[in-house]
Amino acid sequence: MTIDAPCALPGYTAQAYPAAALRVVAGASLGDTLADDTAVPGDVYRLSWQGAPVQLALAGPSVAGGGQFLADAMGRPAEPIRALHLLTFLSSEAERADVLVIEGTRISRMAVPLAPLAPLSDHTLIGIGPVPAGLRIADIVCAAFAPGTRIALPDGSLCPIAALSPGDMVLTRDNGPQPVRWIGRVTLGARGSLAPVVITAGTLGNIGDLVVSPSHRIHVYQRGTSRIGGSACLLVPARHLVEGDRIYRRETAHADYLSLVFDRHEIIYAEGVPVESLVIDPAGLPVLPAPLCEEIGRRFPGFEQARHTAPEPPAESLTELRRRILGGL
């Protein structure tokens, strides 16, 4: 299937590297790269790329049945991309990492890791196979908190999220006290781009460290008339705020997360900072972690929420927005 409409759904992104950045450092194809079509199981590859990976904007979270999807790389026009094959690697720490090899007419052959690859680390190729129909390649998008996060209650007190239960009342920014409808729990890999984001105490006026999933969006209010994106209120994914000091990624093998669902997509307060609740809608469900997606489907068939009206900031304004936020707006 070829998709020929613009990429319009939020959150459908994936990270990619030039195929030539993965080079064989031991094995039958010594010196070759993933761009050479000489991959042999048992070869040991090393990711030599030191820069930031290319962001692909996808029209869907998965490879369609015919192996094509719409992507945009580094601002170039969107185009169909061919998914060539799926490679399976084993790291020196015995962690599995699948890598999708793709190419397009204007976009040269690239490697899309489905789990983070550590630069300059060795990965042994253990499998070469076809691309399964419906293979999910988009970044996981999930509004989720670390278990120790404290959530504001209607009386202003803070309650650890792990102590909340469905039916408990939570303070929301727009609709006052609202009952928690459901609490999702999931454990995810937490390396590279999937690592939790830590906003250290006081950085955004937060009472304690706020630890959230990288796609969890922070509600930002812009004072004055010079407003990025033209809106007083923005929802900014936590990963866009990372600057390495006061806001940073905390890498571990795995991270436990909890998500809160209300009758509406709400803005709630975590460690005193306004943040979003988990939204349930057709655009967001496909890129939720599979356990959450499946459980929501069972518990709330047909349930759909309207997204909060605050927009995300334009990509070209993120550096300036980060400067303003860390400066107190």
Name the token pair of 76: 């170039």
* Maximum mean pLDDT: which of 135-149, 169-183, 242-256: 169-183
| Across 54-58, 248-252, 267-271, least confident range | 54-58
Burial 273-304 (b: 16+ CB within 10 A, else e): bbbbbbbbeeebbbbbbeebbebbeeeeeeee
Q: What integer pLDDT is reported at residue 21 of this predicted model?
A: 92
Mean pLDDT score across all residues of the chain: 86
Summarize the confidence of residues 134-149 as an average pLDDT.
85
Q: How far is CA 167 from CA 171, 180, 183, in A?
A: 13, 5, 10
Q: pLDDT: is 74 or 162 the higher one?
A: 162
User: Sorting pLDDT into bands at 50, 70 and 90, what band is 8?
Assistant: very low
- Confidence check: pLDDT of 51 > 70: no
The confidence score (pLDDT) of residue 7 equals 32
- Please report where in the chains the tokens 């278990």 appear, as a residue: 147
Count other C-beta atoms under 10 Å from residue 83's C-beta. Answer: 22
For residues 139-160, average pLDDT: 93
Q: Could you tell me the CA-to-CA distances from 185 to 39, 168, 279, 291, 321 in Å, in that order? A: 39, 17, 15, 9, 31
- 9 pLDDT above the threshold of 80: no
- pLDDT cut 90: percent of the chain above it: 47
Looking at residue 5, its pLDDT comes to 30
Average pLDDT value for residue range 147-169: 97
Across the range 44-48, mean pLDDT stands at 92
Give 10's DSSP letter. Answer: T
Q: Is the pLDDT of residue 210 over 90?
A: yes
pLDDT of residue 314: 84
pLDDT over 70 (residue 69)? no
Average pLDDT over residues 179-194: 88
pLDDT, one tens digit per residue, over 72-92 is 665 566 777 888 999 999 988
Q: For 166-184, what is the mean pLDDT?
A: 97
pLDDT at residue 73 in the model: 60
CB-CB contact of 49 with 21 (8 Å): yes
> Residue 100: its pLDDT value, please?
93
Tell me: the pLDDT tens digits for 106-127?
778 999 988 777 778 899 999 9
